[in-house]
Structure 1
Amino acid sequence: MQRRHFLRTLSAASVVLAMQPMVGAAKTARLSLNSTPATLLAAWQLPGGGFQAGVLNADPAQPHLFTVQQAVDLPTRPHGLMHLQGDEYLVIARRPGDWMMRLNIRTGDASRTWQDADRQFNGHSAVNGKYVYTTETDMLGGSGVLAVRDKTTLELLDVWPTHGHDPHEMLVLPQGGLGIAEPFLLVANGGIQTHADMGRTQLNLNQMDSSLVALKPATGEVLKQWVLEDTQLSLRHMALHADGVVGIAMQAHHGNASRKNDAPVLALLSDQGLRTAPESARMKGYAGDIVATPQGFVVSCTKSNAALHVSVSGQRLAQFAATSACALAAQADRVWLGHLPASSADALELDNHWLLI
C-alpha cells in the first residue's frame, strides 16, 4: 500500500467555515458548530479523481484552511469509518465494495482485506467484544447479510441474514435500549435491491423493504423489527441520543419529484416505536450523515446544501447553509460539519463520514 504524508495547508479546501442559521431559523439551542479545533479521521476524493483516507487537523482560527496530517491512497471510493482498537481504525469501501482497510493512525501502517466473491461490502461496520460485524449483500440473491469477523484477524466466522435488502449502518445498543431486555445489534436495512451484474442500479423502488432490525450479537436471532408506513423512505445512517432515542437519516426514492422533496429526512425510534419527524421535510429527500447532540440530532442534507438541527422530539431547531454538507462528528454540544467551500475547483471532496480522534 502506497502511503503519503501531507504536512502542508490546502488553501481551497475549507471544512471549518463558521456558519450562521438561515433567515427565520430557530435558535441553535446552544449548539456549537465548527467553532473549536479538532482532529478527525476522514475520507475524501482528490481533485484529480483518486481516493484517500487519513487524518485532518481543522482549526476555526483559520476558517479557510485545514491541514492534512496523514493520508493513504485507496483503490476505490471509501465510505464508513470505525474505531477498531487502540490506534487502529477500519475504513470500508462504498457499496458495492470489495475491500476494507485497517489503518494505524500513529504509525501510518495500512493493510487491506478483500471481500469474498459471493458478497459485497455495504460501507459500514460495528465492533462488539471480540467481533467485528460488517453489513453486506449476497451478490447472487441480493439479500442483506451481516458478516461476523474476528476482531484481531478480520477472519470471516459466520454470515447471518438481516431480513431485508441493502443493510447499511448498524449500532451496538445496551440492555434495556428500545425496551429490549438484552444487548443487541440494530441494523438499518436500506430496502433497495441490487444485483451483482448491475452495480448500484436500483431494482425494486416500487417494492422497497426498508426496516430496522434488532439482532442478538451471538446468534443473529431477530429480537424485533420496525418499518415505516412510507415504504419508499430508505433508512440508512443512525445515531443514539443519550435518552435512548435513535435518530435515523433517510433518503427518499419517490418517483414524483415533489413527493421526494417534501419527504422527511429524519426518523425517530424509541420504545414507543418508529416514526418520521415531519419538521425535517422539504430538504430534497436526502440526508447524508447524522450525529446526536444534547438537544437532539444534526442531519446533513447534502442536496439541499444545508444541515438541520432537530430536537429529540422532532422539532426543527435550526437550519444552517453549507454547500454539499456531508460528514458530521459531535462531542457534547460541539459539532463539526464537513462541506465544500464557496470556491471548490481544487478542493478535496469529503465523503459522508468522519470521526473525532
Structure 2
Amino acid sequence: MTAIERRHFLAAAAGLLAAGGLRWTGAEAASSARYVVSACAAGDGGTLARVVRDDGHVVATLPLPGRGHGAARRPAMREVVVFARRPGRFALAFDPLSPDPARRIDAPPGHHFYGHGVFSPDGRWLFACENDYGKGRGRIGVYDADAAYRRESELEAYAIGPHEMVLMSDGRTLAVANGGILTHPDKGRRKLNIDSMQPALTYIDTASGALLHDHRLAPDLHQLSIRHLAVTSDDEVGFVMQFEGPRNRLVPLVGLHRGEEEIFLPEADETVLRAMRQYCGSAAVDVSGRVLAASAPRGGCVTFWSMAGCSYLGAVELSDGCGVAASGGPGGFLLSNGHGRLLRYNALSGEMRRLDDPAAMPVLWDNHLLAFAL
C-alpha cells in the first residue's frame, strides 16, 4: 500500500431474532485487552457484525437482520450496541465476549435509525440518532438500558438528519452532526431536499433538551452535509462532510469547532480536495487528541489533519477505506476497507501493519470501527 503523502506531524482513532447469537470462535478473557467491533458483509452477501481483538484475532461474528452501520459501547459494562444503516429500524445490544443471544432494539413507529448512537457516562441511557420521517424532522431517541432498552423519551435534534453525535466531557452535552438531508423510507435512500438542505452542528443539553448552540455553514456551502464527528478529551470537535452540490466544485470536507467559536474549515490544496472526491466517510481522533483522521472512501484514501494547527497533514492510500478508530499511542489508528483489510497505521511514523486472522471467514468491512478496552 503506497502513501500518497507522509509527513511527520506536529513537530516531531428482546433477542437477536431469537435464533442466533454470537458465533463463538474461542474462549476470550477480558483482562485489559483491546477490541474492535464493526459491521461487515460475508462473501455470500450476509450482513454481520464482527468482534476482533486489536491484533487481528477474530473473537466472534454476529448475524444481523440487515446492513449495520455504527456502534456504541456501554460504559462500565461488557456490552456493545450495533445500529442499522439508514433507513433501518433495528439495533442489537450484545456482550462482545459472550455467546449469549443479543437483544434487539426497535425504533418506534414512524422513525428509523441513522446508524449511530452514544451512551451516557453511567451507561444508563442510550441516545440514538433518529428520523421522524412522518414529520420530516430529526430526533434523538432516549432508551433506558437498565430496562431492556425501553424507549423513554426523545429530544429535538433542532435540524434535519442527525447522523452522528458525541458526548462532551461534562457528560450531558451532545454535539450532533446534522446532515440536513430530508429522506423517507418509502423513497429508499433518495435525498429529497438537496436544493434547500441546511446542515448544522448542534449542541444539546440531554438533561433539559435545550439547544445550547447551533452552528451553520456559510450560505454558499449549504449543500455540504455534516455527517461524522469525533471529539477530544478537552472538547474540540472535528467533523467531516459530504458535498451534494455540483460534481466539479471543490469544497472543504473537514471542519473543526470548539465551544462558542465559529466553525473553522482547514484549507487544503486542490490536489488533496480532488483526491477526496467530495466525500468523507468517517472520523476519529488519536489518543493524544492532536491528529484527526478523515476517511475518503470514494477517493481511496484516509487523510490526516492537525487539531492544534488546524491544518492538513497528509494522507495514505487505502482503496474503499472508510473505517477509522484510534489505536495505540500518538498518531495511531486502525483502518478498514470494503475489500476486507484491517490495518494498523501510525500517522507519525508512516508505519503500517496488516491485521489478519487466517482461521476466520473473510468479510468485507462496512463504514465504521468502534475500538474499546475491556
TM-score, scaled relative to structure 2: 0.79
- The AA in structure 1 aligned to 2:153 is D
* Equivalence for 2:371: 356
* Equivalence for 1:9: none
After TM superposition, list the pairs within 5 Å mapping 1:156-235 onto structure 2.
Answer: 156-175=151-170, 183-229=172-218, 230-235=221-226
* Equivalence for 2:25: none
Task: Count the aligned residue pairs.
Answer: 318
Selected match of 2:4 from 11, 19, 22: 22
After superposition, what is the alpha-carbon deviation per residue over 1:206-255, rounded to whole angstroms, capped at 9, x for unaligned? 1111101111111211111001111111111111124432100111111x
Deviation, structure 1 residue 113: 1.6
Is 1:115 the counterpart of 2:107? The answer is yes
* Equivalence for 2:266: 277
* Equivalence for 1:135: 129
* Equivalence for 1:88: 79
The gaps in structure 2 that reach 5 residues or longer are 14-32, 342-360
* Equivalence for 1:338: 336
The answer (yes or no) to whether the contact 2:136–2:160 under 8 Å persists in 1 is yes
Is 1:47 the counterpart of 2:39? The answer is no
Selected match of 1:318 from 305, 314, 331: 314
The answer (yes or no) to whether the contact 1:323–1:342 under 8 Å persists in 2 is no
CA root-mean-square deviation: 2.4
Selected match of 1:301 from 293, 296, 299: 296
CA distance change for structure 1 residues 340 and 238 in 2, over 3 Å: closer, same or farther?
same
- The AA in structure 1 aligned to 2:242 is Q
In the alignment, the residues of structure 2 paired with residue 321 and residue 284 of structure 1 have an alpha-carbon distance, to the nearest angstrom, of 13
CA distance change for structure 1 residues 160 and 57 in 2, over 3 Å: closer, same or farther?
closer
Deviation, structure 1 residue 31: 9.7
Deviation, structure 1 residue 183: 4.1
CA distance change for structure 1 residues 30 and 93 in 2, over 3 Å: closer, same or farther?
farther
* Equivalence for 2:24: none
TM-score, scaled relative to structure 1: 0.83
* Equivalence for 1:105: 96
Deviation, structure 1 residue 89: 0.5
CA distance change for structure 1 residues 241 and 342 in 2, over 3 Å: closer, same or farther?
closer
Deviation, structure 1 residue 341: 5.3
The answer (yes or no) to whether the contact 2:298–2:320 under 8 Å persists in 1 is yes
Selected match of 1:291 from 281, 284, 300: 284
Query: Alignment partner of 1:169: what SS?
Result: strand
After superposition, what is the alpha-carbon deviation per residue over 1:155-187, rounded to whole angstroms, capped at 9, x for unaligned? 111122211111111111134xxxxxx941111
* Equivalence for 1:265: 253
After superposition, what is the alpha-carbon deviation per residue over 1:14-33, rounded to whole angstroms, capped at 9, x for unaligned? xxxxx55325x43355899x
Deviation, structure 1 residue 302: 0.4
